[in-house]
Chains A and B, each alone.
Chain A
Amino acid sequence: MSLLEFARGPAIHAALIIMAAGIALRIIGVLALTRGADLSRPRDAFGNFKGYRTVFSRAWPSGEFTTTTRYQTVVAYIFHIATLLVVVGIVPHIEFITSLTGLAWPALPNFVGVALGTVALASLIALITRRLAKPAVYNSTVGDYVTWIIVALPLLTGLMAFAHVGLRYETMLALHILSSALLFAYMPFSKLMHAFWFIFSRAQSGLAYAHKGVRI
């Protein structure tokens, strides 16, 4: 079995199983915990439901915090959107998803894919640069840097494989798939789980404050 065969076969499949099982374990394990009831009388009877809007409203920081959050918010949005489009939009990725699920959709032109991948990697570098430049603001941990590396590797190796830079194409492709497998397997152990938590976390706080008549 070549490195590429290993990456395309057992490695990526094992990683996907770890990811799916890990995400399920972590989410169900947390949500199954008891919920403390708030017995105090709400400010107005149906006001609590207004709290759910925090799930959406928090997608962009309040104007009050514009100066301190602008860079982080804008760059993070660019990163997330570009990465998501690359993950589901280019031909080899769609072919892989089709092989797993049977689903297929039209792909983006190659040059768009490369451009988006480059934007994603550049924005990721812009984020780590600021993290390194302002240590007091970010309070980074080892986990933050490990996560950054694990997210950056598939982008870097993917772009290199596509551009035929570095090692032999088959090796670069194998490294790309292996680094993606690492990302999948790492997800349930890391802060990448925020992809799911944000909905619950925002809703909880929105409800807790709406209960008191405060819009957050």
Chain B
Amino acid sequence: MSTANTTAATATPIFPSFEQVYQGLAGQIGMLREMAPQPTKSDEKRLQGAVETLIEETNADEAVWLESCIHCGQCTNACHYFQATGEAKYAPMRKMDLYRRVYQREISPMRWWHRLITQPVKLSDFEQAKELIYDSCSECGRCTMVCPMGIDTASLVHHMRSAMVAAELVPPELAALRMEQKQMGTVFGSSPDSLRKMVETIREKAGIEVPLDKEQAEVMVLSSAVDLVANGNGLLATAKIMNHLGVDWTICSDGFESANFGLLSGDMSLWKKQVDPIIAAAQRVQAKILVIAECGHAYPALRWNPMLSSGGLPFEMMYMSEFLGKQAKAGNLHLTPFDGKVTFHDPCKTGRRGGAFDEPRAVLAAMDADLVEMPANKEYNWCCGGGAGIFLLEDATRLRDESFKIKIREVNESGAESVVVSCASCRLNFESGRQKNHWDKQVHSLVELVADHLIEDESTANAQARGAVA
């Protein structure tokens, strides 16, 4: 059990527990299906759009990967969705079959040959691939770790998602959220107004100041829809930590959303529409550091997106766990000890596909936590089963629930009593799995755990006051 400090916030909870957050969100997600847009284009146009998207996005890297597969079967057992079901169709190699057919007929230097021996691709082929591209691939990259050719299947699946957008075959939940973010600029209704309201609530109820829209700040922090419409504790914890550290920080109401349903659905024009205001806001406030909230896919959307020229930007982008880890390594985080064995679940997007392994562990070390690793950890970590938007998909419920059992087994084998995650999607999926399986482990968010373990003393009170004045 954690030894949380008794502050005003924890004594009388202002916000619902994460258990309630999960149940509330599950209800909202259920309604998304009805809000999903229907296809508007003719079948020919949808097929043509999908094929043209793949042609457009295929460079030498993708071509080499598509050329290299020898059907050796090694990737199959590395995939949690295959492990969970034993069904051949979930083998990672199958997830690039349709892409390869398009490549062979349209782009390959041997296309004259493939046009002789293969049938043209049809829209129904894309319809059939939908389950493989969305429901059963969290783009976690574990198959790349075993492939003798090193094929990056996850990035090929991502190109397929872009093709699926053109084919109007995005699953209803992602399609609805994509539409909302495209037309209203919100996710689950998390507008600048809901941000202001949340900031107000945190100030009134918890007495914690969130410096919204400062003209200049060293650190610009992002939030996320999950924090704003459901889990207020996320933003509250962030504010407590930033104030505790005495950091000159702000949140910008014109660029605060980490969630990017452009990236998740495969719509890269929406990806850009979401990312540009964040980058503009960070430059305007002359930030040195942009901290991405605990929202796994926001990390590849911002920090690692190959289309975002971050080398030329005047600020550094880092994930919340990286920011906290750097502060811990610098000795700035003074935390009360964490009791009991704990394990850390590396979200695919920040771990294997992001490289932020050490920092979250440094944070746990700063709590003197007894950190135990799962049998497969870091680069080899098993995905929780809910990544890349899959947590939202009703059609993927069975795949998600079955593959989560791998995670349960891994955590149990580690001997840990609790799991720390640093990704809202992972956390929601863990909460879902915990409730469905009556699992006896506790699941913590790294940022909330740190906030609960801050040592409140004279100097932090001063720092908080400084934060409030600023």
Residues on A close to B: CB < 8 A? 22, 25-26, 28-41, 43, 54, 58, 61-62, 64-65, 68-69, 72-73, 76, 131, 134-141, 144, 188-189, 191, 193-194, 197-198, 200-202, 204-206, 208-209, 211-216
Contact = CB atoms under 8 A, between A and B. Distances in A.
Interface residues of B, number: 57
A26 B88 CA distance: 30
A144 B58 CA distance: 25
B436 interface: no
B307 interface: yes
A201 B308 contact: no
Nearest to A127: B72
B469 interface: no
Interface string B62-100: 011101111111101110001000111001011000000
* Prevailing SS type, chain B contact patch: loop
The secondary structure that dominates the A interface is helix
Given A62-B146, A212-B355, A39 B70 contact: no
B395 interface: no
Contacts of B158: none
Given A29-B109, A64-B145, A204-B65, 13 more contacts: A31-B60, A33-B59, A37-B306, A39-B308, A40-B304, A41-B310, A61-B146, A64-B380, A65-B145, A136-B86, A193-B67, A205-B65, A216-B145
B327 interface: no
Question: Which A-B residue pairs are the 4 nearest by beta carbons?
Answer: A29-B109, A213-B355, A205-B150, A136-B88
B150 A25 contact: no
A186 to B, nearest CB: 12
22 contacts: A25-B109, A30-B64, A35-B59, A35-B60, A39-B307, A39-B308, A40-B305, A58-B147, A61-B74, A61-B148, A62-B146, A138-B71, A139-B88, A139-B91, A144-B71, A201-B150, A202-B149, A205-B151, A205-B152, A212-B304, A212-B354, A216-B145
Contacts of B194: none
A134 B73 contact: yes
Contacts of B354: 212, 214
Contacts of A140: 71
B77 A65 contact: yes
Nearest to B149: A201
Contact of B70 (A28, A68, A194): A194
Interface in B282-325: 303-311, 313
B60 A30 contact: yes
Contact of B78 (A36, A39, A65, A189): A65
Nearest to B107: A33
B69 A191 contact: yes
Contact of B110 (A35, A188, A198): A188
Contact of B353 (A43, A65, A214): A214
A193 B113 CA distance: 15
B43 interface: no
